[in-house]
């Protein structure tokens, strides 16, 4: 099998890259280790930056998002039982975000791929990337019980943190920057309308809490829990009681309860692999970087990566120049590190470390007071949350 761009992974990064390349007249093959049902149902991020929304629309993948997604023009910060709304359009010149789950983005892109695009092979497990530093890289993969080879001009590693792509970069070339946090997020999905029409980020002495949603009838809520916590350690009643405590306000706001349909724990880490390019292998999304979910940046960073890569490949096709391909890693990493900074800052702002001192608690509150009393500080948060420039 041969193609111009071999794409490993049919998450949002790989699927969107295939869509963008199709629009530029560049052929590709997408290999995905899991089956279609798994890809279309795995729960992941749900906040799309303004730039991500614009890219999906331009790629012809925004129709259902515009019908069913929930536009959000702000978030609410809570601390000391007080509430403060951050107004995105007023602070950023009109930008907003969209609540539309990664699951739905993947469904839309898969449907378009099968209707208008090229090959997308499910249950095709990539085994190795070979010859990444040559003019003829190859992807060995297993599909329908037999091994095969995908020959290509370029390989896009969109196969996540545990995929094989990053392993093709020699240890002597790689540099890794990472931090593991001593807490995680216990998340629930509940069949109940959200208790607020925008996301609520709450800082509490007992730990962070987040009120989010998947739809007008499904709530997504999170609690900070110690690292290593298992979901079954928390009963549904314990979760609701703790959410009420941490999200509580001095007014008459109340938290709506409903049946819990899913419960899981997300570990918290920051990770960056440099470079994001080795020869003709280009890493994108979680294959190259991980951010804690506090800043809602993971999916959006992946979109930024593949927009940059698609633009570079289209430039190569049109002009014969490798200039943008050569700049891929540096271009992406500028945005990645800004997102890492913002995600770390939001995490430090709202989570209570297990060994936090009274002095550190007061500094945390002082930072929140600064954001809620200074338009400049509030604008910095709003600009970062709604998204850094793509590419």
- Could you tell me how many helices (H) and strands (E) the chain has, helices first? 12, 20
**Residue 157 is assigned to a structural domain of this protein:** yes
Q: What is the pLDDT of residue 91?
A: 97
Query: Domain containing 168 — which CATH number?
Result: 3.50.50.60
Count up the domains in the chain and report the number: 1
Whether the upstream peptide bond of residue 159 has omega within 30° of 0, thus cis, is: no
Say if residues 120 and 32 touch (Cβ distance below 8 Å).
Answer: yes
Q: Report how far residue 30's alpha carbon sits from residue 32's, in angstroms, rounded to the nearest whole number.
A: 7
Decide if 72 is catalytic: yes
Q: Provide the residue range defining the domain that includes 129.
A: 5-74+96-177+269-346
List pLDDT tens digits, range 211-237: 999 889 999 999 999 999 999 999 999
Q: Report how far residue 64's alpha carbon sits from residue 58's, in angstroms, rounded to the nearest whole number.
A: 13
Q: Report how far residue 335's alpha carbon sits from residue 341's, in angstroms, rounded to the nearest whole number.
A: 10
Q: How many CB atoms lie within 10 A of CB 171?
A: 7
List pLDDT tens digits, range 151-164: 999 999 999 999 99
Share the mean pLDDT of the chain: 96
Catalytic residue among 72, 196, 204, 289: 72
Q: What is the pLDDT of residue 46?
A: 84
Decide if 201 is catalytic: yes
Catalytic residue among 100, 181, 201, 278: 201
Q: What is the pLDDT of residue 41?
A: 86
Strand order in the sheet with 70-72: 47-48, 97-99, 70-72
CA geometry: angle 54, 91, 290, nearest 5 deg: 55
Size of the chain in residues: 391
Instruction: Tell me the Cα Rg of the chain.
Output: 21
Whether the per-residue pLDDT at 391 is higher than 70: the answer is no
Residue 89, both tokens: 């359009």
List pLDDT tens digits, range 242-291: 999 999 999 999 999 999 999 999 999 999 999 999 999 999 999 999 99
Decide if 297 is catalytic: yes
Backbone angles phi, psi at 76, to 5 degrees: -115, 130
**Residue 225 is assigned to a structural domain of this protein:** no
Q: What SS3 state is found at 144?
A: coil
Decide if 12 is catalytic: no
Say if residues 156 and 5 touch (Cβ distance below 8 Å).
Answer: yes
Decide if 385 is catalytic: yes
List pLDDT tens digits, range 49-97: 999 999 999 999 999 999 999 999 999 999 999 999 999 999 999 999 9
**Residue 209 is assigned to a structural domain of this protein:** no
**Residue 214 is assigned to a structural domain of this protein:** no
The 8 Å CB, 24+ separation contacts for 213-216 are 213/70, 213/99, 214/46, 214/99, 214/101, 214/189, 215/68, 215/70, 216/70
Cα distance from N-terminal residue to C-terminal residue, the chain: 31
Using a pLDDT cut of 90, give the percent of the chain over it: 95
Report the pLDDT averaged over residues 26-40: 95
pTM over 0.85: yes
Q: What SS3 state is found at 156?
A: strand
**Residue 311 is assigned to a structural domain of this protein:** yes
**Residue 27 is assigned to a structural domain of this protein:** yes
List pLDDT tens digits, range 173-208: 999 999 999 999 999 999 999 999 999 999 999 999
**Residue 109 is assigned to a structural domain of this protein:** yes
C-alpha distances (whole Å) from 134 to each of 281, 306, 341 are 10, 22, 35
Read off the pLDDT band of 42 (50, 70, 90).
confident
Label residue 43 exposed, middle or buried (CB < 10 Å: 0-12, 13-18, 19+).
Answer: middle
Whether the per-residue pLDDT at 308 is higher than 80: the answer is yes
Read off the pLDDT band of 118 (50, 70, 90).
confident
Q: What is the pLDDT of residue 113?
A: 96
**Residue 204 is assigned to a structural domain of this protein:** no
Q: Which of 39-43, 89-93, 100-104, 382-386 has the lowest mean pLDDT?
A: 39-43
Whether the per-residue pLDDT at 390 is higher than 80: the answer is no
Catalytic residue among 154, 181, 222, 385: 385
Which region holds residue 214: left if phi is over 0, alpha if psi is between -120 and 50, else beta?
alpha
Catalytic residue among 22, 204, 273, 297: 297
Q: What is the residue-wise DSSP string for 211-270?
A: EEEEETTEEEEEEEEETT--GGGS-HHHHHHHHHHHH--SSS-------EEEEEEEEEEE
């Amino acid at each position: 099998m041969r193609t111009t761009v071999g794409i490993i992974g049919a998450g949002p990064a790989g699927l969107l890259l295939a869509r963008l390349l199709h629009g530029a007249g560049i052929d590709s093959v997408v290999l995905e280790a899991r089956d279609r049902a798994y890809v279309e149902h795995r729960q992941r991020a749900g906040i799309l930056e303004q730039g991500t929304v614009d890219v999906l629309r331009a790629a012809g993948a925004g129709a259902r998002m515009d019908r069913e997604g929930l536009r959000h023009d702000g978030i609410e910060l809570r601390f000391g039982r007080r509430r403060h709304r951050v107004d995105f359009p007023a602070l950023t010149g009109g930008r907003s975000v969209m609540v539309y789950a990664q699951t739905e983005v993947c469904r839309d892109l898969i449907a378009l791929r099968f209707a208008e695009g090229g090959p997308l092979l499910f249950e095709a497990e990539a085994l190795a990337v070979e010859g990444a530093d040559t003019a003829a890289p190859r992807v060995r993969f297993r599909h329908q019980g037999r091994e095969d080879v995908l020959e290509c001009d370029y390989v896009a590693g969109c196969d996540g943190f545990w995929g094989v792509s990053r392993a093709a970069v020699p240890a002597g070339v790689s540099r890794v920057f990472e931090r593991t946090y001593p807490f995680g997020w216990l998340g629930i999905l509940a069949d109940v309308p959200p208790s607020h029409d925008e996301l609520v980020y709450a800082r509490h002495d007992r730990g962070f809490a987040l009120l989010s949603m998947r739809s007008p009838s499904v709530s997504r809520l999170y609690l900070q829990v110690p690292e290593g916590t298992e979901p079954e350690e928390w009963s549904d009643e314990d979760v609701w009681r703790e959410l009420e405590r941490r999200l509580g306000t001095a007014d008459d706001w109340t938290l709506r309860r409903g049946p819990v349909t899913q419960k899981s724990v997300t570990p918290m880490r920051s990770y960056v692999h440099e470079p994001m390019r080795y020869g003709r292998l280009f890493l994108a999304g979680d294959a190259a970087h991980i951010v804690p979910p506090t800043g809602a940046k993971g999916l959006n960073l992946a979109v930024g990566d593949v927009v940059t890569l698609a633009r570079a490949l289209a430039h190569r096709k049109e002009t014969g120049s490798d200039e943008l391909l050569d700049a891929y890693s540096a271009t992406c990493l500028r945005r990645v590190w800004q997102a890492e900074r913002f995600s770390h800052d939001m995490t430090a702002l709202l989570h209570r470390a297990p060994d936090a001192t009274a002095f550190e608690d007061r500094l945390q509150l002082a930072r929140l007071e600064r954001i809620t009393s200074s338009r400049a500080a509030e604008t910095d948060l709003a600009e970062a949350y709604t998204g850094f420039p793509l590419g």
